[in-house]
Amino acid sequence: MEERNLDLPSTYPLIPTRDVVVFPYMVMPLFIGRQFSIKAVEEAIDNNNRYIFLALQKDKNIEEPTIDDIHQIGVVATIIRMMKLEDERVKILVQGVTRGRIKSLTKQNGYYQVEVDIIEDEEVEETIEVEALKHSTKDLIDKAISLGKQIIPDLVEIIKSIEEPGRLADVVASVLDLKPEEGQAILDILDPVERLRYVHDKLLKEVGILEIQHKIRVSAREAIEKDQREYFLRQQIKAIQEELGEKDDKKEEIESYKKKIEEAGMPPEVREEAEKQLRRLERMHPDSAEAGVIRAYLDWLVELPWNKRTKDRLDLKIAKKILDEDHYDLEKIKERILEYLAVLKLKKQKTKDPSIKGPILCFVGPPGVGKTSLGKSIAKALNRKFVRISLGGVRDEAEIRGHRRTYVGALPGKIIQAIKQAGTKNPVIMLDEVDKIGLDFRGDPTAALLEVLDPEQNKEFVDHYVGVPFDLSEVMFICTANRMDTIPRPLLDRMEVIRLSGYSEEEKLNIAKKYLIPKQLKENGLDEKTVEFTDKAIQFIIRGYTREAGVRNLERQIGSIIRKIAKEIVEKGKKKKYKVTEKLVKKFLGAPIYTPEKESKDEIGVVTGLAWTEVGGEILKIEATKMPGKGNLILTGSLGDVMKESAKIAYSYVKSKAEELGINPEEFSKYDVHVHVPAGAIPKDGPSAGIAITTAIASLLSQRPVRSDVAMTGEITLTGKVLPVGGLKEKILAAKRAGIKNVILPKGNKEEVMSDLPAYVRKSINLIFVEHIDEVFKIALKEKQVEPQKSES
Partner 1 sequence: MINIEKPAVDVLEDEDTYIVVADIPGVEKSNIEILADENSITIKAYRYQKFKGRYFIVERFNGWITRKIRFPEPINQNQAKAHYENGVLTVYLPKAKNQFIIDTCFKIFIP
Residues with active-site annotation: 688, 731
Does 82 interact with partner 1 (rule: CB under 8 A)? yes
The answer to whether the CB of 650 falls within 8 A of the CB of 697 is yes
- End-to-end, the C-alpha distance of the chain in Å comes to 166
- Is there a contact between 131 and 138 (Cβ–Cβ < 8 Å)? no
CB of 136 to partner 1, least distance (A): 25
The span of 76-84, 169-177, 278-286, 513-521 binding partner 1 (CB under 8 A) equals 76-84
* 97 is a site residue for partner 1 (CB under 8 A): yes
User: Do 304 and 424 meet the contact criterion of CB atoms below 8 Å apart?
Assistant: no
Stretch 720-779 residues interacting with partner 1 (CB under 8 A): none
Q: Is 78 in the site for partner 1 (CB under 8 A)?
A: yes
* d(C-alpha 514, C-alpha 503), whole Å: 14
Q: Nearest approach, Cβ of 84 to partner 1 (angstroms)?
A: 5
β-strand partners of 635: 675
Q: Is 401 helix (H, G, I), strand (E, B) or coil?
A: helix
Cβ closest to partner 1, residue 18 vs residue 91: 91
Cβ closest to partner 1, residue 93 vs residue 439: 93
Q: Of 99 and 403, which CB lies nearer to partner 1 in the complex structure?
A: 99
As measured in angstroms, the least distance from the Cβ of 23 to partner 1 is 13
Instruction: Say if CB 385 and CB 311 are below 8 A apart.
Output: no
CB of 81 to partner 1, least distance (A): 5
Contacts of 246 by beta carbon, 8 Å cutoff, 6+ apart: none
Which residue of 62, 83, 346, 682 would you call a contact of partner 1, by CB under 8 A? 83
Using CB under 8 A as the criterion, what x/- string covers residues 20-59 for binding partner 1? -----x----------------x--xxx-xx---------
Q: Is 45 or 410 the residue whose CB approaches partner 1 more closely?
A: 45
- 5 interacts with partner 1 by CB under 8 A: yes
Q: Which is nearer to partner 1, 52 or 743 (CB)?
A: 52
Q: Of the candidates 95, 539, 581, 600, which one interacts with partner 1 according to CB under 8 A?
A: 95
The one among 1, 237, 759, 786 contacting partner 1 by CB under 8 A? 1
Q: Which stretch binds partner 1 (CB under 8 A): 81-89, 198-206, 229-237, 414-422?
A: 81-89
Kindly state whether residue 84 participates in binding partner 1, applying the rule CB under 8 A.
yes
Give min distance, CB of 85 to partner 1, in A.
10
* Residue 32 beta carbon to partner 1: minimum distance, rounded to whole angstroms: 13
Q: Minimum distance from CB of 142 to partner 1 (Å)?
A: 23
Q: How far is the CB of 116 from partner 1 (least distance, A)?
A: 16
CB 693 within 8 A of CB 681: no
Q: Is 80 in the site for partner 1 (CB under 8 A)?
A: yes
Q: Which stretch binds partner 1 (CB under 8 A): 77-85, 380-388, 680-688, 748-756?
A: 77-85
Asked if residue 134 lies in contact with residue 165, where contact means CB atoms within 8 angstroms, the answer is yes
Q: How big is the site for partner 1, counted in residues (CB under 8 A)?
A: 21
Residues near 729 by Cβ (< 8 Å), separated by ≥ 6?
501, 502, 617, 753, 756, 757
Tell me the residue length of the chain: 793
Diameter over CA atoms, the chain? 174
What is the helix (H) or strand (E) element at residue 170, kind and residue range?
helix 165-175
DSSP string spanning 489-553?
HHHHHTEEEEE--PPPHHHHHHHIIIIIHHHHHHHTT--TTTEEE-HHHHHHHHHHH---SSSHH
Residues 394-453 touching partner 1, rule: CB under 8 A, are none
| DSSP letter (8 states) at residue 724 | -
What is the H or E stretch that residue 164 is in? none
| Whole-Å CA distances, 239 to 243, 287, 415, 601, 787 | 6, 18, 46, 97, 109
Stretch touching partner 1 by CB under 8 A, among 78-86, 352-360, 399-407, 573-581: 78-86
| Nearest-angstrom CA–CA distance, 16 and 301 | 80
List residues binding partner 1 (CB under 8 A): 1, 3, 5, 25, 42, 45-47, 49-50, 78-84, 92, 95, 97-98
